[in-house]
Amino acid sequence: MRGYFTASGFYGLVDGRYMLFSSESEYYEYLEAGTEEDAS
């Protein structure tokens, strides 16, 4: 998990690419949701 803040939001690293999220917490929620889907 890695990312950085900008004036537009939070860029978080997902599968080797940076995606823009409205907040850091939204980034972590997105990662958790993806992990849950992989476990199914």
pLDDT higher than threshold 60 for residue 10: yes
Q: How far apart are the first and last CA of the chain?
A: 21
pLDDT higher than threshold 60 for residue 40: no
User: Which pLDDT value is given to residue 26?
Assistant: 97
Whole-angstrom distance, CA of residue 39 vs CA of residue 24: 23
Higher pLDDT, 39 or 27: 27
Q: HEC string of the chain?
A: CCEEEECCEEEEEECCEEEEECCHHHHHHHHHHHHHHHHC
Q: What is the pLDDT of residues 13-38, one digit of tens each?
A: 999 999 999 999 999 999 999 877 66
